[in-house]
Chains A and B, each alone.
Chain A
Amino acid sequence: MALTASIRKRYGDFLLDVDFTAGNGGVLALLGASGCGKSVTLRCIAGIERPDEGFVVLNGRTLFDSKKKIDLPPQQRHIGYLFQQYALFPNMTVEQNIAVCLPKQEKSRCRARITELIAMLRLEGTEKLLPRQLSGGQQQRTALARILASEPAAILLDEPFAALDSYLKWQLELELQDVLAQFSGPAVWVSHDRGEAYRNCGKVCVLDRGKSSPAVSLRELMTDPVTVSAARISGCKNYVPVRPGNGAGQLAVPDWKLSFRAAAPWREGVTTLGIRANCVHPAGTEEINSFACETVRVTEDVFSMLVMLRPEKAAQDAPLLRMELRKEIWMALPEQKQIRVAVCPEDLLLLE
C-alpha cells in the first residue's frame, strides 16, 4: 500500500513541483520552510485543489491524473486530512462531529464505533461539548477521531501542532504517535521542524521553494544532506563557497583563505561547504583542520554559547563562522578574544 504523488502547479511566479511516495514504512515527513508549498501539496492530494498536471495514486487507485482526465472529488478519495486549525464543525458536539463522518451503517454499530473512538482518543466526558469548549489538545483528538471514523485509506497531517502551546505538544505528540502506529495506511506529516520530523517520521522529503528532493531517511538527512536546502532544514548554520584543493581529499575555501581535509571525496556539482555550529570546537595547533579566529560576537543561549568567529585571514565581507558550545567549555577557555578552532574532516558537508 502506498500513496504516490507527482504534482505540478503554477501560482504566478511560484512553481510547485513535487514527487514522492509514502509507503507503509512509517510516516513520510514533508519538511520545508513556511511558504514552500507543503500545504498546497496536501490540498492537491486531498482533492481540495487541482494540480495543473501530474498524478496521485493511492493503493493502486488513481485519484488524479491530468493525462487520463481523472479527478475524483475529495469525497471519493478516502484521504483523512488533519487541518492546522482542525476545522471542527462549530455547531456540532464532539459526538456529532464524529457521528456524521461514520459510513452509513446500523444505529447500534454506529454507537459502538463512536464509543470506541471516544475511548481510544481519551475524549470521555467531552461527548456533549462544543468544539469551542474544548482545549487545544481535545480539539486535535476530536479531529483525529473524526478522521478515523471516516475510515481513510491514507492520512495527511498539516503541521499538527502549529495551533498548540509548546508545553502541550510533547504529550500530544506521543498520543499522535500511538494513533499513527495503529493506522495501517500511508501517512504524510507536513512540518517545518526537523526535530518533530526526526522523532515521528521514518523518511523525509525536503521541499525547497516548491521543489521536492528525493525522499531519504531522517538519519541520512542529518548526517549527510546533499543540497544546501536539505542542510538548512536539518539545522546546519554555516555555508561558504568551496573548491577542490591541491591533492586528494583537500578543499579550498577562498573566502577564508583556508584549506581543509575532508573525509568525503569530492563530487561533481558541489558548490558549498556546510559546517554545523556544534561541530566547530576549540582546538590546539597540532589538530587537523584547525585555524585561528577572532571572536566577533558572543550570545548566551539557554544551555550554550553562540560565538561568531572571523577566520584570521578572511576577507572583510566573508561569512562569519558560527560556533555553538556548552557554556562551561566556553567559560573555561583561557583566551576568548583570539581562539583556535577546528572541524573534524567527517563533519564537513559537501553541498550542491
Chain B
Amino acid sequence: MDWYPLFNSLRIAAVSTVIVFFLGIWSAYYIAKAPRAVKGLLDVALTLPLVLPPTVVGYLLLLILGPKRIAGRWALETFGLRLTMTWWSAIFATAVVIFPLMYRTARGAFESFDETLAQAGKTLGLSNTFIFWRIRMPACRQGILAGTVLAFARALGEYGATSMIAGYTPGKTATISTTVYQLWRTNEDGLALRWVLVNLAISTVVLLAVNLLERKEKRTWR
C-alpha cells in the first residue's frame, strides 16, 4: 500500500491549520472589537465558506488562481509558478474551507473574555502585546484549542474544493479523500476500504483528543 496520500493529507492539513490559526485569531480579535455594522458584514463574508458547497469554493478559487486568471497569471508570469494542480494548491482550498471554523470559535472565546482583565493589565502598566499573549490568549485557550483541532480535522477531510484545484495525481496531489474516491471509481473496493479505515482511525483519535482536552480543562478550571 502506497502511503503517499496519508503523508500528503497530513502536510496539507498541518500547513493550512497553521496559517488559519494565525489568520483566524487575528481577524477574530479585531472583528470582536469592531462596530456592530462592520462586524455583521465581515462575519457573513468570513463564515460563508462554512455553508457554501466545497465545489462552489473550488470554483471561486479557480476564478482567482487559475493560470489564466488574475492571481494565477500574475504568479505564472512573475515567478513561473502554477498555483493549481500541485500538492500545495490544496492548501488554498483547505485554508479557505477551515477558516470559518477557527475564526468563529476564536471569536466566541474572545467575546466571552472578561475585558476588565485587559483593562486592569493596562492600568498596571503592562504592554498590549503582553496582555494579548499572556492574559487574553491563556484565558481563551480552550476555545482556541478546540477551534484548531476542529479546523485540522476538517482540513484532513476536505474533498470538493481540493479535487477541483489540485486534482488527483497519484504520488503528487493525491490525498486520502481523493484517493478513496478514485479507488472506488476504478472498482478497487478493498483498497478503498483500507483508506476509509485509516481515515476513520485518524478522525476518531482527533475527536477523542478534543474530548480529553475539554475534560481536563473542566477539572483545572472548576
Q: Which A residues fall within an 8 A CB radius of B?
A: 43, 46-48, 73-75, 77-81, 83, 85, 87, 89-91, 100-101, 103, 132, 146-147, 149-150
- The winner among A80, A89, A149 for most chain B CB atoms within 10 A is A89
Assess the A74–B138 pair: CB atoms within 8 A.
no
Sampled A-B contacts (16; CB under 8 Å): A43-B119, A46-B119, A46-B123, A47-B122, A75-B123, A79-B123, A83-B116, A85-B116, A87-B119, A89-B120, A89-B135, A91-B134, A91-B135, A91-B139, A100-B130, A149-B124
Q: Could you tell me the distance in whole angstroms from the C-beta of B222 to the nearest C-beta in chain A? A: 8
Q: Could you tell me the distance in whole angstroms from the C-beta of A53 to the nearest C-beta in chain B? A: 22
Besides A74-B122, A80-B124, A91-B138, 20 other CB < 8 A contacts? Answer: A46-B119, A47-B122, A47-B123, A48-B119, A48-B122, A75-B125, A75-B127, A78-B125, A79-B123, A80-B123, A81-B119, A83-B116, A83-B119, A87-B117, A89-B134, A90-B139, A101-B124, A147-B124, A150-B124, A150-B125
Assess the A77–B123 pair: CB atoms within 8 A.
yes
Q: A9 to B41, alpha carbons, bound, how many Å?
A: 30
Assess the B124–A146 pair: CB atoms within 8 A.
yes
Is residue B126 within 8 Å, beta carbon to beta carbon, of the partner chain? yes
Q: A47 to B125, alpha carbons, bound, how many Å?
A: 12
Which of A75, A89, A100, A132 touches B122 (beta carbons < 8 Å)?
A75
Residue pairs across A and B with CB atoms within 8 Å: the count is 60
Interface string of B196-210 (1 = CB under 8 A from A): 000000000000000
Which residues from A are CB-within-8-Å of B135? 89, 91
Q: Could you tell me the distance in whole angstroms from the C-beta of A50 to the nearest C-beta in chain B? A: 13
Assess the A83–B120 pair: CB atoms within 8 A.
yes
Closest A-B pairs by Cβ, 7 of them: A87-B120, A74-B122, A91-B138, A81-B123, A87-B116, A101-B124, A150-B124
Assess the A101–B139 pair: CB atoms within 8 A.
no
Which residues from A are CB-within-8-Å of B117? 87, 89-90
Which residues from B are CB-within-8-Å of A149? 124
Q: A90 to B118, alpha carbons, bound, how many Å?
A: 12
Nearest CB to that of A97 among chain B residues?
B124
Is residue B114 within 8 Å, beta carbon to beta carbon, of the partner chain? yes
Which residues from A are CB-within-8-Å of B114? 87
Is residue B121 within 8 Å, beta carbon to beta carbon, of the partner chain? yes
Q: Which B residues fall within an 8 A CB radius of A?
A: 114, 116-117, 119-127, 130, 134-135, 138-139, 221
Q: A71 to B134, alpha carbons, bound, how many Å?
A: 26
Q: A74 to B138, alpha carbons, bound, how many Å?
A: 22
Q: Could you tell me the distance in whole angstroms from the C-beta of A142 to the nearest C-beta in chain B? A: 12
> Given A83-B120, A87-B116, do A100 and B126 touch, yes or no (CB 8 Å)?
yes
> Given A87-B114, A100-B130, A100-B134, do A74 and B139 touch, yes or no (CB 8 Å)?
no
Assess the A81–B120 pair: CB atoms within 8 A.
yes
Q: A349 to B16, alpha carbons, bound, how many Å?
A: 74
Assess the B123–A74 pair: CB atoms within 8 A.
yes
Q: Could you tell me the distance in whole angstroms from the C-beta of A78 to the nearest C-beta in chain B? A: 7
Nearest CB to that of A48 among chain B residues?
B119
Which residues from B are CB-within-8-Å of A146? 124
Assess the A101–B126 pair: CB atoms within 8 A.
yes
Assess the A73–B122 pair: CB atoms within 8 A.
yes
Assess the A74–B119 pair: CB atoms within 8 A.
yes
Q: Could you tell me the distance in whole angstroms from the C-beta of A87 to the nearest C-beta in chain B? A: 4
Nearest CB to that of A100 among chain B residues?
B126
- The winner among A43, A77, A87, A91 for most chain B CB atoms within 10 A is A87
Q: A27 to B138, alpha carbons, bound, how many Å?
A: 36
Q: A90 to B221, alpha carbons, bound, how many Å?
A: 9
- The winner among B120, B126, B135 for most chain A CB atoms within 10 A is B120
Nearest CB to that of B114 among chain A residues?
A87
Nearest CB to that of A42 among chain B residues?
B123
Q: Could you tell me the distance in whole angstroms from the C-beta of A141 to the nearest C-beta in chain B? A: 15
Nearest CB to that of B119 among chain A residues?
A48
Which residues from B are CB-within-8-Å of A150? 123-125
Nearest CB to that of A96 among chain B residues?
B134
Q: A257 to B157, alpha carbons, bound, how many Å?
A: 87
Assess the B123–A89 pair: CB atoms within 8 A.
no
Which residues from B are CB-within-8-Å of A147? 124
Nearest CB to that of A85 among chain B residues?
B116
Nearest CB to that of A147 among chain B residues?
B124
Q: Could you tell me the distance in whole angstroms from the C-beta of A102 to the nearest C-beta in chain B? A: 9
Q: A43 to B116, alpha carbons, bound, how many Å?
A: 11
Q: A103 to B127, alpha carbons, bound, how many Å?
A: 12
Assess the B116–A101 pair: CB atoms within 8 A.
no
